[in-house]
Chain A
Amino acid sequence: MKGETNLQRILTGGKFAVTCECNPPRGIDVDTILKNASLLKGKVDAVNVNDNPCARVRMSSWAMSKILLDMGIEPVLQMTTRDRNRIALQSDLLGALALGIQNVLCLTGDHPARGDHPQAKKVFDLDSIQWIAAVKQMRVQGCLMNGKKVSGNPKFFVGGVANPFVQSLEMHVIRLQKKIAAGTEFIQTQPVLELNRFKAWLNQARDHGLTDQCPVIAGVLALKSVQMAEHLRNNVPGIMIPDATMDRLRAVSEDKQQEEGIKICIEQIAALKETEGVRGVHIMAIGCEERLPEIIERAGLLPRPDVS
């Protein structure tokens, strides 16, 4: 299959994928985001659009995805099961597909208890695996979860996420196996700063034949400052920043921390490119998105292959 989306064609064509992240604004002013996004044209294969990350209210991911699509950037629509039941999720997915958004990344989402509306009623009608299965069913069988046919034969590419930095690797690999069996066509990981731990996870996945069944895109982080690193470490579930990284950032003066963070990021990308079973990188440059084009260039990821 040639693939419906640029990202799908890159991965199925065996090319090394490069994606990054766009955090929609808390508000309706998208000027800065559009300015940063315009610099990414031709430099990334697709851009993930977060769905209220850390359970903090942002512009809806489908709306931001549509804005990116209109400017010629391929979005990956993140959809969490945290805030919407199966009725709302399926409805929003149909809406996104009708708008031309064709990459969907299915997640459970961070718990509202640590977000900016901790009083909210949690939903979690489905978990991410059940949602992936529902999304896949819509595409393959052309029907909703209840079996009712949907019109228009929607075509799209389905992804899921994994955290390699967990205690019981065996259990998490079982979960990954279920995710892939449910229909994930690519896996995006939490940012890698500890390569050995990442490789231990990857090896287990490979031993179960999972990396052959489903391409793995490894997350990487460009840390802007010690302050940002501390914030991510303490407040963002699933992001592990080892002491060694913190020490490296602390060892340089404040004005050089961003450059050091970018160096670390580029080193990680170089190591991951050489790691068997890694099929791409997902770069998270939180708070320094404007430097993404430079990171991608310095990491030797240009030019991006033309697979249209």
Chain B
Amino acid sequence: MAEKHFEVSRLPGFATTAIIVFVALYVPIFTLVAYSFNASMSVAVWGGFSTDWYVKAWSNQQIKDATLRSLIIACFAAAISTAVATMAALGTTRRKAFKGQTFIYVMINQPLMVPEIVTAVALLILFGMIKQATGIQGIGYVILAHSAFCIPFAYLPIRARLEGMDLSLETAAADLYATPWQTFRRVTLPLLAPGIAAGAMLAFVISLDDVVITEFVKAGGQDTLPTYMLGQMKRQLTPEINAVSSMLLLVTVALLTAFFLLTRKKNDG
């Protein structure tokens, strides 16, 4: 005699809607990846399976340059933003609230709040002025911009990790004769490491994915992979762009998975 279980939290149609949402979230991405294996010349017609577009993308000098540039920028931006974000996280957590702390929070989170297009325009103007005044050109402007807007993304996981850390561990280290520097080096830093790695990874992904700010700040011939792709989208599309997208997607998903594993470990420890 099977009695239907009465579940209070079940609401009619909710599960169906949710499943449709999940499907709808992934179908476009899978379609995009599928078409990267399209043998046909056009993105429109399926012409059988092929990895030609990957080969083609790989031999495209513009794509190679843009990829390398993206990686260099992301490495620098991740390193710089993570370094300053780590310091800021150490400065703003686990101490008595001090004057100006809210200001620091607002400043750090500012890139999350201001629309990207506004920051992009602002940087276009500022960097234009600097370039005109000093004549200094180069990729440094893009790196500087990326380093700034990656700070909140690096800061959040590091702060979360710090806040979850038992304060008494550092107290214990001080009690056992460690100087403040030794305490940091021997206790705080090793325990914070997963948070720093997670922050760096997030910053790297954010930098790698940025379109808007890069589009405004870059000089001619300084295309990153996303701005190159944006430029291509105006023209006749070939599955090459799908191949590039799929590869970028793969890198992002791999880094994100690593990020989740890193931050999840915190809860076990």
Determine if chain A interacts with chain B: no
Residues in chain A within 8 A of chain B (CB atoms): none
